[in-house]
A and B are shown apart, each in its own frame.
Chain A
Amino acid sequence: MIKIVGILLLMAVCSAYGFYRANMLFCRKKRLKALCLFIESAENKIRLGSEMQQIVLTDGAAAGIYLENLNFLIKKENLTPSDIALAEDFLGSLGMGDMVGELKRCQTYKSLIEKEYINAEQEAKQKAALYQKLGVFLGLLVGIVMI
């Protein structure tokens, strides 16, 4: 009885891990989309002359951007190191240029992050189902071997 429960538990853990990895891919896609939307909204508000701190306080939460000691920072969960480097590069000197410069920066980083978003979307499409299936099959394999 204990053996069966243990095997079932192992199968569940393996499957859950597969689903967790698949979910990470979806979350990355979601975060990059939110970042694109934030840049788009910031671009519009910069044109209207809103203060950057205000923009981040109102729109930043959805994209995981927050203000700490006058610095704009991003929550790193579910993002790859290259996504984080790109976002930090963008946030590093946000609001410290003239309007034309800021708008150009927004457009450049929006296009770069959009590329990453498309990659993330394709990756999620290709790998998410694979991770889920691998998880389940690995669980089954472990179960069969243990029986």
Chain B
Amino acid sequence: MVDIKTKTKADSVLYALPQRIAGYIDALPIFIKNSIREIRLRASSPLCVICETTLYISEDTSASSYLPSRPVIVSRGEIDETVKRITGSSLYAREQELKEGYLSMKGGNRAGISGCFSGGSFKQANAINIRIAGQVKGCAEPLKEQAENGLLIVGRAGSGKTTLLRDLIRLLSYEGNRVSVIDTRGELCGYDCEALDVGPNTDIINGVSKAEGCEMALRTLNPQYIAFDEVGNGRELALIRESFFSGVKILTTAHGAGVQDIKSREVTKALLDGCIGKIAIIEGAAGSQITFTTPKEVLCSD
């Protein structure tokens, strides 16, 4: 009998997991494996996955929203092994990423690391959160029209900002627009640039800071749109603004829950000053409800 195995979203990160943990994840029903957004490994704690809700994995390979009587406990050795697998046994090669608390994985996936840092360098991981990159083709259709003069996508962590931005890049690119993506952490397009579809007219710049990437793109790639994920701090934004000139539109994302958050954060407030034309605020879970506003409206609101 031929064993037909359907490929699921979770399969793209199994390579990074220790054999025992990978076995438990692989044994989950397909509908759960397809909806996994995060896999959380904490030393000496139960293994859990995040779908719509948090699911704990039991030793009998079942998943439940309450803590089972025999949960799968992740050992410290397994945490170390996962780091080893993700980095290819080369912590030094990923030092910079580790200092920022994450590790890029194949296919645009990302592992958030929490642990012990000493003297500015990484020593040991205590917990790993593997975030599986999602591609929902067509989800950014309502945003396409609004992106003409640049767009800022605002939402809570896990609301689908990156997924929306990725699809927006794809849609604009398929319409013949030249899009340059500054993918510092390999989260938008993946370091391999093949696993996720971002369109035929998209140029991807990996592994440089957003400011450097913007400068490189403007100098050599003649883009119509420049896209990057999450402007981190004011210094970064100042550098981006310096290398920026009119005619190129910015597509980016920022953390926040609403208009008040945009106004209260210095970074997002600075972005409103001529960089972008529209703001999309994600209010529902996983991008279910999007409202649009303009920088002027945000700045004038109380």
Q: Name A's B-contacting residues (CB within 8 A).
A: 46, 49-54, 70, 72, 94-99, 101-102
Q: Contact partner of A51 among B81, B90, B95, B121, CB < 8 A?
A: B90
B135 to chain A, nearest CB (A): 26
Instruction: Determine which of A49, A51, A98, A101 lies in contact with B89 in the assembled complex, contact meaning CB atoms within 8 Å.
Output: A51
Q: B267 in the interface, Cβ–Cβ < 8 Å? A: no
Q: A70-B81, A70-B84 are in contact. Are A94 and B95 (CB under 8 A)?
A: no
What residues on A are CB-neighbors of B174 within 8 Å? Answer: none
B292 on the interface (CB 8 Å rule)?
no
Whether A95 and B85, one on each chain, are in contact in the complex, defined by CB atoms closer than 8 angstroms, is: no
Q: Which residues of A contact B91 (CB under 8 A)?
A: 95-98
Interface size of B in residues (CB-CB distance below 8 Å)? 13
Min CB–CB distance A147 → chain B (angstroms)? 62
Taking the closest CB of chain A, its distance from the CB of B78, in whole angstroms, is 12
Contact B88–A54 (Cβ < 8 Å): yes
| Residue B44, interface by CB 8 Å | no
Tell me, in angstroms, the Cα distance from A94 to B92 when the chains sit together: 10
For the complex, is B225 an interface residue (Cβ under 8 Å from A)?
no
13 more contacts with CB within 8 A, not counting A96-B89, A98-B95, are A46-B93, A49-B90, A49-B92, A51-B93, A52-B88, A94-B89, A95-B89, A95-B90, A96-B91, A97-B91, A98-B91, A98-B92, A102-B92
In the complex, the answer to whether A53 meets B95 with C-beta atoms within 8 Å is no
User: Are A51 and B84 neighbours in the complex by a CB distance under 8 Å?
Assistant: no
Inter-chain CA distance A145–B272, complex, in Å, is: 103
Give A121 to B85 CA distance when docked, in angstroms.
39
A102–B87 Cα distance when bound, in Å, is 15
Q: Is B88 a contact partner of A51 (Cβ separation < 8 A)?
A: yes
User: Does B87 lie within 8 Å of A51, measured CB to CB?
Assistant: yes
| Chain A nearest Cβ from B152, distance in angstroms | 33
The CA-CA distance from A46 to B87 in the complex, in Å, is 13
Instruction: Report Cα–Cα, A53/B89, bound state, in Å.
Output: 6
